[in-house]
Amino acid sequence: MPGSRPQLTVVTTDAESRIARLHRYIARRDDMRATFQDIWQRLEAGPVGAWREDWSAAALRLFEVNAGPAVQMAFWRLSLTEARRCEAAALIATADTAGGICRHCGSAAARGFLERAGQLLAATDGARALGPWLDGLLDLATAGAEPLAAVLQRLEMLLGTLDGPGFRHWVESGLAVAAQDRAKLRAFFALEDPLARQLLQRSALGDPLGKLERSLQIYLHALTEQPVRIRALPPPTADAPAQRAAFSGRLALLPESFERDEGRAGGAVYFAAAAHIAAHMTFTPGRLEPGGLKPVQLALVSLVEDARVEHLAMRRMPGLRRLWAPFHTARPDGARTMPSLLARLARALFDFDHPDPEPWVQKGRAMLQARLARLDDPLLARELGNLLGHDLGQMRIPTIARHHVVEPLYRDDNSGLWNIPPPEDAPEVEAIAIDTVRLEREERPDGGREDEPDLSPEAGKVRPAAAPPDEDGMPVAAYPEWDYRARIERPGWAIVRDARAPPAPAEAVRRAEEAYPALTRRIEALVRGARVGQPFRRKRQPDGEQLDLDAAVEATIAFRAGERPDQRVYQKVARRPRDLSLLLLLDGSRSTADRAAGPGGVTGGGPAIVSLERDAALVLARAMARLDDPLAIRSFDSNGREKVRIRRLKDFDEPFDRRAAARIAGLQPGLSTRLGAAIRHAGTELARRRSWRRLLVVVTDGEPSDIDQPDGRYLAEDARRAVHSLRGAGIDVFALGLDTGVTRAGREIFGRQHFLPIRDVADLPERLAMLYFRLLAR
C-alpha cells in the first residue's frame, strides 16, 4: 500500500528488545502481518537467527524513514535470498543505504535499489568491499532519483568493470562534472556523455600508472643503473587515441593508460615499456639526426634500433624476452599494409624463430642475424633501416602517415631517438624521504628542555601588553629577517600578531567531518596500529617476565650476607611511550581561495584550496586526538612586515572539541605569505614543548611573498634560514606543497628530503595524515 504511513511512531525504551518492538509494530499492520510472519519464521531458521536483533533494528530503521511496506518487503525478500551468502554487516548496511535513498529520492527508488541489491551483494565479498558501492549509490541519491535509476539499470555492467573505490570515484567525478545540471546528470549516468565513458574506463583501470609509478621508477633505476624520472603523458586526444610511451634523456614518459587490455595483468605492459626505454637509455648512444629521412625511413631505422637495443638488453637480462614476447602478436597472414609489415618485421627481428613467409621480412631478419656480432655498433640501425627502406620502396605499398603508431604496444614512439625538439622539462617526481637527524633521548642527562637555549637570539620578545589589540591582533613577538643580498639579519624586523580565529557555523563543521569516510576508516586502522611505541628493555624491575641476572645475583649475595636484598630482580620489555608534539602551520594567504583542479583536470572545477586545508587539518586533528598526541594548529598570513598574523586554531593543551573544530573549519583566505616569520614563531612555540620529538609541518600553496618585498627570492631565502635555525634547535620541519609551481621553491626552502609536493590537491587530507603516521613509525 504505497503512501500508507505507520499510525504510531516507535517509542524507544532501552530495555525493550528490537525484535519485540518490530513484532509489535508489524502486529498493527494488517497489510504486512501475514507476509512477515511467514518470512520471519524462515529467517529465524536461517543465518539471520543469529543476528536477529541487528536485523530487526535495521528493519525498524526502515520504518523510521517512512519507507513503506513495499520497501520493507523488498528488504525481507532480499534477506531471505542473500542472508545465506553474505555477512550480517553487509545486509544491514544495504538496508541502511535503502533508508538513505528513501530519504533523498522516495520509497520507489529505495525499492528499486533493494531489488537490485542482490547483484551487489553477490558480486562483492563482505561489508568492506560493499561499502564504497553503497557510499557511491548514496552520493548519487543526493543528486536525484533519475541518475540513481540510470546507474542501477547498468549495475551489472558496472560491477563487471569497476571495483568499489573506482565506482565511488566515477560517481564523484560525474556529480562534480554535471554540478546541478539535471540534463547533464542524466546524460552522464546514462553513459550518453562520452566523458562519462572515458572516466569510467579510467576508473576501471584504477589509475594504473599512478599505482605503478614508484615501482616503475625503481625498476628503471635498477635496469639502467641510474636514477630515471617518470612523468605521465597528457591524456590522448580524440583524433589520436592510441598512445605510446616516450623518453627524453633520463625522463620516461608513460601514458596514463594503454588503449588495449594487456595492461591489466599486473601492469605487464608498463614494465615492458619501462624495460624497453631502459634498453634505449643504456644502449642508444644519443639522438640521431633525422636529416632528410622520410617518415617510413625514420620508422624503419627506429624499428631496427629497437630490435638492436632489445637484443643487447636481453644478452644481459635474458628474462626480458619473457616480458616482451607476449606483446609481439603480429601474424604473417595479415594484409600487406605498411603498419602490418612493420609490426611483422618487429616481431621477426625480435624472435628469430618466428616464421614469416614475406621475403622482405625474411630479408630483414637475415640481415640482422648476419650482423649479430656487431650489435653494439650504433650505426647498424641506420644501415639496415636504409637497406630495408629501399626494398620497401620497390614494393609499391602505400606509405605510412606521419604519425604512425608504433607496434607492439610497449615500444616507445621513437621521439626520443631523433633530434626533434624534446618535450619541455617535467615536474620533479614526487618523493619524500623522511630522514631526520636528532639526538638520542638517553644522551640528554637532564632530559629536560627548559634550560636549553631558546631559539634566541632570534626570539626577541616584544613587550606583550604594550600595543592595544586591533583587528590585526596583538603583537606578540618580533623576529629578525635574513637579507640574503646584504648577508645580514635585520633584527626585530617582522612583527608577529596573535589574530582572532573566527569559528565556522556548526553546519560547516559537520559537513567537513563527514567528508572523508574512507580515509577516516583507514586512519582508524592506523591509529590502532600506532598506539604502541617502540619496545625497550627495563632492568631492575619489581616484576617482569625474566630475571635480571645481575640484580638477582646481587640480591642473593645480599641475602647470604645477611643484608636486606633489593627485591627488584626482574626485567621486562616495555613500550617506549610516543612523545611527540606537532605544530601544523597552514598557509592562509589569498591564493588559497583558488580552486583546485576538478575531475578530469578541469581547471578550477574543484573545491577551494583553503577548504582542503581545513579538511586536512580536521582529519589530522581527529587522528591525533585519538592518539593523545599534542597538536597545535596555526594559520598565518601577512600584510607587510609589521603585520604577520598568526591565528591559533587549536592549542597544544586544548582538547580537540567542537570549539576547536569550529575554528579550524572557519579558516579563511587572507593576504600574503611571509613564511619565515611564521616558521620562526612556530619554532618558538615548539621549543617550549618538552616532548622528545618536536615537529613542524607547514602546508603552503605558493612561494613566500609580501606587499613590501618586491624581490621574490628575499622571503624564500629568509624562510630557508628560518627552517635551518629550527632544525638546529632540534625541531624537525616538513612541508607539503599544494601546487606544482611551488615545488622548486619548496625544495629550496625545506630541503628535498623534507618537502612533499602534492600533485592533486584533493589528496591533501590523506597525504597529511599519512605523513604523520610515517613519522610516528620512526
Q: Name the site residues for other proteins (rule: CB under 8 A).
A: 212, 214-219, 221-223, 225-227, 271, 275, 316-320, 322-323, 433, 437-440, 537, 549-550, 553, 556-557, 560
Minimum Å distance from CB 772 to other proteins?
Answer: 18
* Least distance in angstroms from the C-beta of 730 to other proteins: 12
Q: Nearer to other proteins by C-beta: 322 or 485?
A: 322
The minimum distance between CB 394 and other proteins, in angstroms, equals 39
- CB closer to other proteins out of 511 and 759: 759
Residue 466 or 561 with smaller CB distance to other proteins: 561
Q: Which of 674, 637, 410, 371 is nearest to 501 (CA)?
A: 637
Helices in 442-578 by DSSP H: which ranges?
506-513, 517-530, 549-560
C-beta of residue 512 within 8 angstroms of C-beta of residue 620:
no
Task: For the CB of residue 547, give the shortest distance to other proteins in the complex, in Å.
Answer: 12
The least CB distance from residue 214 to other proteins, in Å, is: 4
CB of 326 to other proteins, least distance (A): 13
Cell triple for residue 539?
632492568
State which residue, 48 or 275, has the beta carbon closest to other proteins: 275
How near is the Cβ of 553 to other proteins at its closest, in Å?
A: 6
CB-CB contact of 314 with 352 (8 Å): no
* HEC assignment per residue over 297-327: HHHHHHHHHHHHHHHHHHHHCCCHHHHHHHH
The residue (of 88 and 429) whose beta carbon lies closer to other proteins is 429
Of residues 230 and 726, the one with the C-beta less far from other proteins: 230
Residue 128: C-alpha distances to residues 89, 91, 163 (Å): 9, 12, 12
CB of 551 to other proteins, least distance (A): 11
Q: Which is nearer to other proteins, 34 or 549 (CB)?
A: 549
Crossing angle (nearest 10°) for helices 609-626 and 517-530: 30
* CB closer to other proteins out of 27 and 557: 557
Kindly report the number of other CB atoms within 10 A of residue 139's CB atom. 17
Q: Among the residues of 463-570, which ranges form H helices?
A: 506-513, 517-530, 549-560
Q: Which is nearer to other proteins, 224 or 591 (CB)?
A: 224
Alpha helices in 106-240 (DSSP H): 107-123, 126-142, 145-153, 155-161, 164-178, 182-189, 194-205, 208-224
The answer to whether the beta carbons of residues 735 and 757 sit under 8 Å apart is: no
Q: Which residues contact 681 (CB under 8 A, 6 or more apart)?
A: 476, 477, 479, 496, 634, 636, 644, 646
**Cell numbers that stand for 617 in this block:** 587539518
Handedness of CA 725, 727, 731, 735 (dihedral sign): positive
Q: Are 186 and 147 in contact, with CB atoms under 8 Å apart?
A: yes
Residue 228 main-chain phi, psi, to 5 deg = -130, 140
Closer to other proteins by Cβ: residue 352 or 559: 559
CB of 268 to other proteins, least distance (A): 9
How far is the first Cα of the chain from the last one, in angstroms, to the nearest whole number? 62
User: Torsions phi, psi of 603, nearest 5?
Assistant: -65, 135
Least Å distance, CB 227 to other proteins, is 6
Closer CB to other proteins, 227 or 241, in the complex: 227
Residue 563 beta carbon to other proteins: minimum distance, rounded to whole angstroms: 14
State the Cα torsion 416-417-420-421 to the nearest 10°.
Answer: 30
